[in-house]
Structure 1
Amino acid sequence: MLQNALNQSKIYLKEIIEPGDVVVDATAGNGHDTLYLAKLVTPSGKVVAFDIQQAAVESTKQRLSSAGVEHAEVILAGHERLEEFISQGVRAVVFNLGYLPGADHTVTTESSKTIQAIEAALRLLVVKGRIVLVIYHGHQTGKIERSAVLDFVATLPQEQYQVLHSAFLNQQNSPPELVVIERKN
């Protein structure tokens, strides 16, 4: 059975992340991806997670604490600021674009800040590293962001990056789409 965008994203991350790696959850949300990444890098690695909402930061910290994870840092800041907090190379950066499930749907990721964050992630990404974006575009801001992200990643030079876009074409209600960027050299 074909996997949805969220499950595909986990497959593309698991393929490349190894114990000891530094990885980023650019949109911590409720902490599911942060915990998944922490398990992949093991305590010898590090996860840095970002979110603009205090509730998301607290939820993520609680999820990590309940799982006994101490090798993750959760930062109350927008993902466009990731280079302020990370200077070493990263193996992977994951984004879930849209709004925090169960929270105020008017607080969403924004295309201009997301593009800034992708640009920063590209500068930090190691060779064979990946940026994985799950794009939730079932709302107006999401449609704008989807278009901006797809336009931007389509311009990345093929000599340096491979860019994959995966979408279900015959499903209703705007199912999430996946974009994976892999650094070649």
Structure 2
Amino acid sequence: MKELKKEDLQITELIHHFVREHVEAGDICIDATAGCGNDTLFLCELTGARGEVMAFDIQPQALEKTATLLAEHECMAELVLDSHSNMADYMSEGSAACIMFNFGYLPGADHKIETKAQTSIAAIKAGLSILRKGGIMTLCLYDGSDVQREEKKAILKMLKELDSKTYLVITSCYYNRPNNPPMPVFIQKLEGKDSSCIYGFGLV
């Protein structure tokens, strides 16, 4: 197994490390929580000019930040001002290679505007239908506030109930870190009973 560098141990970099193992140039990907645009840019760089990236957010300022970041790096994505729970209205079933979620609130913005359990679960379910077989979904879950704690608990309960013949779900945690560190979750839509499991940074 390739040794992880110190910077790879941050949750966003750990998730990126995993996604790199599964996304190729020309793929269709979704950033379900655009935020400041970092994951959108990351997916654009992975999929290249032949790929397609769509990013969702309910806050105009988030999409403005994302557009600015993409322009600085000469990348393009389709930015959608809508709830990620409606993503099935924009993407066809079984089309996406990767869908990324980073729940919580927009850094530097009103912390009262944050993702909530009901719409987040609806978005995850929509995303699972959009994923192609062999496709992956990543979640970054938080529990620093009451809303985030409720959201995390509800999402994990829903994931526990997914059909194990259709989806492989792996949760992880920073077990000895203080201050409620975020939890990375990795989901793969299986291709069949003989399909191989998630791989990358030691997940086999």
Aligned to 1:85: 90
Q: What amino acid is the match of 1:115?
A: I
* Correspondence 1:96 to 2:102: yes
* Correspondence 1:33 to 2:34: no
SS of 1:20's partner is: coil
Aligned to 1:137: 143
Determine if contact 1:129/1:182 at 8 Å carries over to the other structure. yes
Q: What amino acid is the match of 1:173?
A: N
Aligned to 1:115: 121
Alignment counterpart, residue 67 of structure 2, candidates 49, 58, 61: 61
The structural deviation recorded for 1:172 is: 1.3
The structural deviation recorded for 1:136 is: 2.2
Distance 1:78 1:98 in 2: 14
Aligned to 2:50: 44
Distance 1:22 1:46 in 2: 5
Aligned to 2:176: 170
The structural deviation recorded for 1:10 is: 0.5
SS of 2:14's partner is: helix
Q: What amino acid is the match of 2:14?
A: Q
Structure 1 unaligned residues grouped into runs of 5+: none
Q: Which has the larger radius of gyration?
A: 2
Aligned to 1:20: 26
Q: TM-score, normalised by structure 2?
A: 0.87
* Correspondence 1:7 to 2:25: no
Aligned to 1:184: 190
Determine if contact 1:5/1:167 at 8 Å carries over to the other structure. no
SS of 1:127's partner is: strand
Q: Which has the higher contact order (CA 8 A, sep 6+)?
A: 1
Aligned to 1:160: 166
Aligned to 2:194: none
Q: Give the paired residue count.
A: 184
SS of 1:11's partner is: helix
Q: TM-score, normalised by structure 1?
A: 0.96
Identical pairs, percent: 35
SS of 2:61's partner is: helix
Q: What amino acid is the match of 2:60?
A: Q
List per-residue Cα deviations over 1:59-113 (Å, max 9, x = no partner): 001111111112x111111100101111151000000000111110000001111
Distance 1:54 1:136 in 2: 23
